Structure 1
Amino acid sequence: MFDNIFEAIEQWMRELLSGMISSNLSTMFTDVNEKTGEIAAQVGQTPQGWNGNIFSLIRNLSDSVIMPIAGMVITFVLCYELITMLTEKNNMHEIDTWMFFKYFFKMWVAVYLVGHTFEITMAVFDVGQYVVSAAGGAISGQTSINVDSLITQMDAAMVSMGIGELAVLALETMLVSLGMKIMSVIITVILFVRMIEIYLYTSVAPIPFATLSNREWGQVGNNYFRGLFALGFQGFFMMICIGIYSVLVSSIQISGDMHSALFGVAAYTVVLCFGLTKTGGLSKAIFGAH
């Protein structure tokens, strides 16, 4: 009689622990698939598409506060360009009429660039969005984890486990699942910080654009363009990170050692967060921005 009672209790505890483990693990791997799609959606957004209200605010500040300063900068730069052009020709003894046509053309280009700063800036991020979207389609199609297959492996592996081992495994899955959620928050923060950096970067765009017409001062504008492309293509490097992460997680064999598999997922997630933080510096190094 007591044997039957103990067997029933053991069976109930086994089913309870097995159900808890299966639920935690399936949730973890489902979160991996969802996070892949979320990162693709976040990094593929242009500044105006990510948050229209913030974009309107930044553009309004740029037009009302930064543009007048850019006007003063471009006036100084054009005056400096004219003086340099005249004095470099043997102290104005060799003046050619073509010089003035060239100067007026350069002045028109400079004013046009400053007047269309936001259109040009957004064009850079449109290119970045296209690259990220194309990469996202390829990555999500190849690295999506088959959760049903993993659940089958988990069920088969837990059949031979004792109550104590199942209890330890249930505790481990709870801890790793909590860690995954914390890492998910950190990844979200990284994505938000990147978008805020983009808004801050674009808010002062008219000033570096105003320096492009001069050979010496133009280094400011050239470096600004490099920074724009670095921010735009940072999303592409983020997509590569999440693609590598998904491949590593999907290659874990649950049926072998579930304890190692759990901590392997946790380690890969930490590496993912670290890799995402490095994408900004890597992108700037590639495009020569500083």
Structure 2
Amino acid sequence: MFDLFGQIEEALKELLIAFIKSNLTTMFTDVNDKTSTIASQVGQTPQAWNGSIFSMIRNLSDSVIIPIAGLIITFVLCYELISMITEKNNMHDMDTWMFFKWFFKAWVAVYLVSHTFDITMAFFDVGQHLVSAAAGVINGQTNIDIASTIATMESSMEALELGELLQLALETMLVSMCMKIISILITVILYGRMIEIYLYTSVAPVPFATFANREWGSIGNNYARGLLALAIQGFFIMVCVGIYAVLVNSMTVSSNIHSALFSIAAYTVVLCFALFKTGSLSKSILNAH
């Protein structure tokens, strides 16, 4: 009778251990798949990330936004010419040089609008260079060593009682669900950044048309800072991944399996939170709003 109960207990323990190992494997695999794609995602330019979306945005900009930018250029240049003439003592101190200056401003304004996409893409080429350079410096492996981690945990699980294993099974199931949500959030952050880039570039000719005037030029200046902030956000994302790699690689699975489990989950939560903050951080540094 007692041997039968003992065998049942051992069978239940083996079943719970297998269930816990399955949860851990799924949990770590989901996170590894997402973190391993971060560098490749942020290192891509808008053209390379999705050529179809980029072509659509460019066509919209050329056919819809550039005509509006042409009207804005006309207004800004007329306003600039009137301001230049009236500020010279109501046309009493006229200087022919100021007309050459106005023509030069007009040429620059038209050139900027007609080459808007080339200029905006130059910002992200710089960002891609920063990400590539950061990836070369960050040599830490972001992946969690699933086999060795689970093997270490399994040796600790075998010494636990049935009630503790049941508690651990519930904890792994809960943490695994949370990690799936975190992996989805990481995808949302990466895709959201690219969509924001496309939205920014779709209306690029309008703020670029304001550079010709000092007063209206603040619109274009703030837009350029926003573009640069989006470009260097990729660098900050790579720094976050590097910090995460160092934390994971320096972590030791202790005898307290509950602590080890929640430590790994906590590091991933911190990574997700830090990724969310990269956008506001880059904008605050460049004073873009």
Using structure 2 for the length normalisation, give the TM-score. 0.91
1:99-120 per-position Cα deviation (integer Å, ceiling 9, x unaligned): 2222222211111110000111
Q: How does 1:35-114 map to 2 (within 5 A)?
A: 35-114=34-113
The letter of the residue matching 2:8 is I
* Contact in 2 for aligned 1:37/1:140 (Cα 8 Å): no
- In the alignment, which residue of structure 2 is the partner of 1:254? 253
Write the distance in 2 (CA, Å) between the matches of 1:22 and 1:74.
Answer: 64
Distance in 2 separating the partners of 1:147 and 1:262: 12
- How far residue 63 of structure 1 moved from its aligned partner, in angstroms, is 1.0
1:131 CA drift (Å):
1.4
Q: Deviations over 1:43-90 (max 9, x none)?
A: 222222222222122111111111111001011111122222222223
Alignment of 1:103-142 (within 5 A): 103-139=102-138, 141-142=140-141
Q: Which amino acid aligns with 2:258?
A: H
- 1 CA distance for matches of 2:141 and 2:159? 33
**Amino acid paired to 2:53:** I
| Residue matched to 1:277 | 276
For structure 1, the 5+ residue unaligned runs are none
The question of whether the paired residues in 2 share the 8 Å contact of 1:46 and 1:129 is answered with: yes
In structure 2, what is the equivalent of residue 159 of structure 1?
Answer: 158
* Structure 2 counterpart of 1:164, one-letter code: G
Whether the 8 Å CA contact 1:86–1:92 is kept in 2: the answer is yes
Q: How many residues align?
A: 289
Displacement of 1:212 after TM fit? 0.7
Aligned partners of 2:281 and 2:169: how far apart in 1?
39
Following superposition, the deviation at residue 223 of structure 1 comes to 0.5
2:12 corresponds to: 13
Q: Is the 8 A contact 1:156 1:255 kept in 2?
A: no
Structure 2 counterpart of 1:213: 212
> What are the equivalent positions in structure 2 for 1:144-223 lying under 5 Å apart?
144-223=143-222
> Where does the alignment leave 5 or more consecutive residues of structure 2 unmatched?
none
2:57/2:202 contact within 8 Å kept: yes
Q: How far apart, in 1, do the equivalents of 2:137 and 2:21 lie?
A: 29
Partners of 1:187 and 1:240 in 2: CA distance:
15
Query: Which residue type is aligned with residue 214 of structure 1?
Result: N
Distance of 2:142 and 2:58 partners within structure 1: 38
Matched to 2:210, the amino acid is T
**1:167 partner letter:** L
Q: Is the 8 A contact 2:142 2:248 kept in 1?
A: no
Match of 2:238 in 1: 239
Tell me whether 123-132 or 9-18 shows the greater mean CA deviation: 9-18
Alignment partners' CA distance in 2, 1:240 and 1:97: 54
Q: For residues 28 and 133 of structure 1, do their structure 2 counterparts lie closer, same or farther at Cα, with a shift above 3 Å needed?
A: farther
CA–CA separation in structure 2 for the residues paired with 1:42 and 1:259: 33
Q: In the TM superposition, what whole-angstrom CA distance separates every residue of 1:217-276 from its partner, at most 9, and x where no partner exists?
A: 111101000000111111222222233233334433323311122223333333333222
Residue type of the alignment partner of 1:187:
I
Rounded Cα–Cα distance in structure 2 between residues aligned with 1:253 and 1:6? 36
Partners of 2:34 and 2:186 within 8 A in 1: no
Counterpart AA for 1:64: S
CA–CA distance in structure 2, aligned partners of residues 37 and 138 of structure 1: 16
In structure 2, give the amino acid aligned to 1:263. Answer: F
- Inter-partner Cα distance in structure 2 for 1:243 and 1:32: 15
RMSD of aligned alpha carbons: 2.1
State the alpha-carbon separation in 2 of the partners of residues 174 and 251 from structure 1: 25
1:263 corresponds to: 262
Deviates more, 1:178-187 or 1:38-47: 38-47
